């Protein structure tokens, strides 16, 4: 898609036009976490991005580190002692498969809570700074996401992977800020399979403290999370949360691939410390997909029937309420009738939603078909 033969003027992509004052994912990081991130990319910052890096550095020193210290002093012990209100529910599936839409539906249930964008933006101090910094930063937020027409805002649900990254934990998302580095960063953290037990425990501890922080604000509510990388992490997640539940959503690969390419290019363009060139990105998407799904399929045998449910994006968009009822029954999430009106109301708001449209060349379709043939066969998608 980086070449002219794979790009097309027929593409119709939503999202905002970037402005220099829009908050970046890294703006909520502490000094320790920020310099860990810079070190992971060997400090290879393009001159055109020096201003952004300087701003994030000042934010880390002046605001984030002091706020994190305040949260640790006044809330740290209480957060560590917090018990989750039931095992978490993980929405999984490849990027651009419909995980965000499913997340938006499930959080309509008042029995659930979730990681909002501010919590993922400032994971080490969002409790302490929620009523001070958040209202100010919210004034600078765009109304839409950069990659499509989904609503954005600090109160909207977000991927907890961004929170883990902002806490200084290794993550494939570090490649967003360093898209042009010769070697891909933290590939082993996509599935966590090759980590040492110590590394795995450090990652789990980071996830657990973040979930306890969320629960501290909503003590009686079960957490619903959404992060595509968790698709290949079921085995590790079960170490910490043996009764966790997983909803997997799948979509036609011809929709997934170009949308994922647009995702990584646009995020790197807005959030990167380098101007993205897209070199090797197509192969990265192909390989990441296959790596993640190989582990995912192997891990399914670890789950009981009431821990796993699988749906198609087409199901969710064409018959959302019926599909959600299927999820509730499969995962035994409780009474459905009381929350059905909320799902029906939200589904009405989605009827006018304008999806991104991508025009794929025949050559690219053949590549996708050949390299993801197992996914086509598993879910019965037409080639």
Q: pLDDT by residue (tens digit) across 336-368?
A: 999 999 999 999 988 876 677 788 999 999 999
| 6 falls within a domain | no
Structure tokens, 164: 């883990």
Q: How confident is the model at residue 154 (pLDDT cuts 50, 70, 90)?
A: confident
pLDDT score at 275: 93
Instruction: Give pLDDT, residue 13.
Output: 61
Contact 222, 111 (CB under 8 A): yes
Give residue 136's pLDDT band: very low, low, confident or very high (50, 70, 90): confident
Q: Classify residue 4: in a domain, yes or no.
A: no
pLDDT at position 353, please? Answer: 67
Q: Per the domain annotation, does 131 fall within a domain? A: yes
Decide if 2 is inside a domain.
no
Q: Structure pTM?
A: 0.93
pLDDT score for 23: 85
Helix (H, G, I), strand (E, B) or coil at 278: coil
Note the pLDDT of residue 133: 83
The answer to whether position 221 is within a domain reads yes
Distance CA 380, CA 203 (A): 35
**Does the pLDDT of residue 3 top 50, yes or no?**
no
* pLDDT higher than threshold 80 for residue 204: yes
- Binned at pLDDT 50, 70 and 90, residue 6 comes out as very low
What's the whole-number mean pLDDT along residues 20-24?
A: 80
Of 330, 307, 328, whose CA–CA distance to 244 is shortest? 307
Spatial separation of the C-alpha atoms in residues 371 and 256, rounded to whole Å:
13
Res 20: pLDDT = 73
Instruction: Place 143 in a pLDDT band, splitting at 50, 70 and 90.
Output: confident
For residue 7, the model assigns a pLDDT of 41
Q: Is residue 8 part of a domain?
A: no
Q: Is the pLDDT of residue 191 over 90?
A: yes
Average pLDDT rounded to a whole number, residues 193-209: 97
Question: Which stretches does DSSP call E strand in the chain?
Answer: 89-92, 112-114, 222-226, 245-250, 308-312
In a domain, 316, yes or no: yes
Q: Are 28 and 164 in contact (CB under 8 A)?
A: no
Supply the CATH number for residue 352's domain: 3.40.50.300
Q: How many CB atoms lie within 10 A of CB 240?
A: 17
Helix pair angle (281-299, 253-271), 10° resolution: 120
pLDDT in tens, 286-297: 999 999 999 999
- Indicate the average pLDDT of the chain: 92
* Average pLDDT rounded to a whole number, residues 206-221: 97
Residue 184 has a pLDDT of 86
| Arithmetic mean of pLDDT, 251-270 | 95
- Res 2: pLDDT: 45
Q: Residue 222 pLDDT more than 90? A: yes
Of 210, 229, 226, 211, the closest CA to residue 28 belongs to 210
Name the residue range of residue 84's domain.
18-379
- The mean pLDDT value for 123-133 works out to 93
- The reply to whether 36 falls in a domain is yes
What pLDDT, on the 0 to 100 scale, is given for residue 18?
73
Share of the chain above pLDDT 70, in %: 93
Please report where in the chains the tokens 């000042």 appear, as a residue.
58
Q: How many domains does the chain have?
A: 1
pLDDT in tens, 160-188: 999 999 999 999 999 999 999 878 889 99
pLDDT band at 138 (very low <50, low <70, confident <90, very high): confident
What is the per-residue burial (b if ≥16 Cβ within 10 Å, else e) of 359-379?
ebeeebeebbbebbeebbeee
């Amino acid at each position: 898609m980086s070449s002219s033969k794979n790009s097309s003027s027929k593409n119709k992509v939503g999202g905002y036009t970037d402005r220099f004052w829009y908050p970046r994912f890294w703006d909520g990081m502490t000094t320790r976490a920020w310099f860990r991130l810079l070190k992971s990319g060997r400090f290879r910052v393009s001159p055109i991005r020096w201003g952004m890096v300087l701003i994030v550095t000042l934010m880390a020193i002046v605001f984030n580190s002091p706020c994190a210290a305040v949260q640790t002093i006044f809330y740290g012990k209480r957060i560590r002692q917090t018990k989750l209100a039931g095992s978490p529910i993980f929405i999984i599936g490849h990027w651009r498969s419909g995980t965000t839409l499913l997340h938006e539906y499930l959080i309509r249930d008042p029995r659930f809570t979730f990681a909002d964008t501010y919590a993922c933006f400032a994971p080490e101090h969002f409790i302490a700074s929620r009523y001070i910094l958040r209202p100010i930063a919210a004034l600078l937020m765009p109304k839409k996401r950069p990659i499509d027409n989904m609503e954005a805002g600090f109160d909207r649900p977000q991927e907890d992977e961004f929170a883990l990254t902002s806490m200084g934990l290794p993550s494939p998302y570090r490649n967003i800020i360093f898209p042009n580095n010769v070697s891909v960063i933290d590939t082993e953290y996509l599935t966590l399979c090759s980590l040492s037990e110590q590394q795995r425990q450090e990652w789990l501890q980071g996830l657990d403290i973040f979930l306890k922080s969320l629960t501290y604000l909503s003590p009686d509510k079960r957490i619903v999370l959404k992060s595509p990388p968790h698709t290949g992490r079921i085995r590790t997640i079960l170490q910490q949360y043996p009764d966790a539940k997983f909803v997997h959503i799948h979509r036609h690969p011809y929709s997934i691939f170009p949308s994922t390419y647009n995702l990584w290019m646009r995020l790197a363009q807005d959030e990167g410390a380098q101007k993205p060139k897209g070199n090797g990105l197509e192969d990265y998407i192909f390989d990441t997909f296959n790596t993640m799904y190989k582990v995912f399929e192997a891990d399914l045998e670890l789950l009981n029937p009431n821990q796993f449910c699988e749906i198609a994006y087409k199901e969710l968009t064409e018959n959302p309420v019926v599909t959600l009822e299927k999820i509730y029954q499969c995962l035994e999430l409780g009474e459905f009738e009381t929350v059905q009106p909320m799902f029906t109301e939200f589904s009405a708001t989605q009827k006018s939603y304008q999806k991104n449209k991508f025009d794929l060349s025949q050559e690219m379709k053949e590549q996708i078909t050949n390299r993801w043939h197992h996914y086509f066969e598993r879910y019965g998608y037409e080639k």
